[in-house]
């Protein structure tokens, strides 16, 4: 779950090349020999083949707790796991480059919009995990109908963070529209969706809650006119509030909880009109040669046993602060879970316009 940890949908190093490579990666996923539709369809809960434990599976992941999970799964089951840990963008580039000879069996990163793109291009296996019965209502809401990928936890793509020691005379906003008022001029910072993974789902959530792209574009233009400052990712955006350069920041909420754990005197506001849910997602390759092992890993991640490993991850890592969506899980870290109006995105819709909306944001808000 990388943002400052480089969690953008098409985040490729070096950073100054990222925006231009966005179109290239999406084009590769869309047009360059994606797997056939027939290879992606499998409605069974298991594979006819058995899992060769010594061969195991290859996991492509951008999650902070992926190493903990891989080691625990291997220890508990005896199934070997080869972990390739990288940014989401780099993993997408690898998946595209390997389209004719995929080397991955399972992929795991933040963002259902991004995962939907892989699904649309037939990279993912459609199958029913028996562990899906473990979901809470929030987990079920964020599971696609074709079961090509499964949520493993949820955070808010964007919430308003402030420094408790620098509350401005204007007071605290209650909803997104408050940030456009003159009293909040030159007080806000947010992330650039060309670099920040959670930024685009946040934009999509604004558009969905405001009933349209045009309304969302007007909102962001109003923010710009009111002095909104754009930083690349969560870290510099949050730092602007910590240092007092800005009074409010729109960031992924898990980054806030990690900063508070580190001792920062911050507060958080979940706007009343809603915040976009940002699920972490896991999926099996439609062309995996080790589907039986891959499915076992996904089933384990969606169990209370697998989730326990994730919740016991490093409390200074923002990835640990997800809202659990599996019944029977007891969180170790503390975060707000109640009183949040969580918006479940219309994923196919926003996946279809992502490139256009990001380009518009760059041309009209960042520039």
Model pLDDT for residues 259-279, shown as the tens digit of each residue:
999 999 999 999 999 999 999
In a domain, 343, yes or no: no
Using omega within 30 degrees of 0 as the cis cutoff, is the peptide bond preceding 101 cis? no
Bridge partners of 277? Answer: 156
In a domain, 10, yes or no: no
Across 190-204, average pLDDT: 92
In a domain, 353, yes or no: no
Say if residue 39 is in the same domain as residue 139: yes
Say if residue 191 is in the same domain as residue 93: no
Residue 38 has a pLDDT of 42
Say if residue 173 is in the same domain as residue 259: yes
| pLDDT > 60? residue 14 | no
| pLDDT > 90? residue 78 | yes
Residue 267 has a pLDDT of 97
CA dihedral 85, 87, 93, 94 (to 10 degrees): 0
Say if residue 201 is in the same domain as residue 303: no
Tokens (6 digits) for 137: 């209502």
Bridge partners of 351? Answer: none
Residue 241 sits in which domain range?
159-276+358-366
pTM for the whole structure = 0.84
- What CATH number is given to the structural domain containing 183? 3.40.190.10
C-alpha–C-alpha distance, residues 258 and 282, integer Å? 23
C-alpha–C-alpha distance, residues 289 and 50, integer Å? 11
Say if residue 249 is in the same domain as residue 202: yes
What number of other Cβ atoms are within 10 A of residue 354's Cβ? 22
> What total number of domains does the chain contain?
2
In a domain, 1, yes or no: no
Say if residue 101 is in the same domain as residue 181: no
Closest residue by Cα to residue 150 from 162, 141, 158, 159: 141
**pLDDT per residue as tens digits for the range 20-72:** 444 445 555 555 556 654 445 554 444 458 999 999 999 999 999 999 999 99
């Amino acid at each position: 779950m990388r943002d400052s940890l480089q969690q953008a949908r098409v985040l490729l190093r070096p950073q100054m090349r990222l925006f231009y490579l966005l179109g290239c990666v999406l084009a590769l996923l869309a047009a360059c020999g994606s797997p056939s539709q027939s290879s992606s369809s499998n409605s069974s809960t298991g594979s006819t083949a058995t899992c060769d434990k010594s061969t195991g599976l290859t996991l492509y992941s951008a999650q902070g707790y992926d190493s903990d999970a891989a080691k625990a799964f291997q220890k508990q089951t005896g199934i070997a796991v080869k972990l390739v840990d990288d940014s989401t963008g780099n993993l997408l580039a690898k998946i595209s480059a390997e389209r004719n000879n995929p080397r991955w069996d399972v992929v795991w990163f933040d963002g259902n919009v991004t995962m939907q793109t892989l699904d649309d291009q037939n990279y993912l296996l459609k199958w029913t995990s028996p562990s899906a019965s473990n979901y809470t209502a929030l987990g079920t809401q964020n599971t696609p109908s074709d079961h090509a990928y499964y949520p493993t936890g949820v955070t808010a793509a964007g919430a308003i963070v402030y420094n408790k020691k620098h509350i401005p005379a204007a007071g605290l906003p209650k909803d997104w529209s408050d940030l456009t008022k003159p009293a909040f001029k030159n007080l806000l910072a947010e992330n650039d969706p060309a670099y920040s993974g959670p930024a685009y789902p946040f934009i999509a959530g604004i558009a969905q809650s405001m009933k349209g792209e045009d309304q969302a574009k007007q909102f962001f233009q109003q923010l710009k006119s009111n002095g909104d400052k754009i930083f690349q990712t969560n870290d510099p955006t949050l730092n602007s509030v910590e240092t007092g350069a800005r009074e409010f920041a729109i960031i992924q909420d898990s980054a806030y909880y990690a900063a508070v754990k580190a001792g920062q005197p911050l507060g958080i506001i979940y706007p009343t009109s809603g915040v976009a849910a940002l699920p972490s997602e896991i999926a099996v390759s439609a062309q995996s040669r080790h589907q039986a092992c891959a499915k076992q890993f996904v089933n384990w991640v969606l169990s209370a046993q697998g989730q326990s490993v994730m919740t016991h991850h490093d409390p200074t890592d923002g990835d640990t602060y997800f809202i659990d969506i599996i019944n029977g899980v007891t969180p170790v870290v503390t975060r707000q879970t109640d009183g949040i109006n969580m918006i479940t995105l219309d994923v196919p819709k926003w996946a279809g316009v992502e490139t256009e909306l990001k380009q518009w944001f760059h041309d009209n808000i960042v520039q």
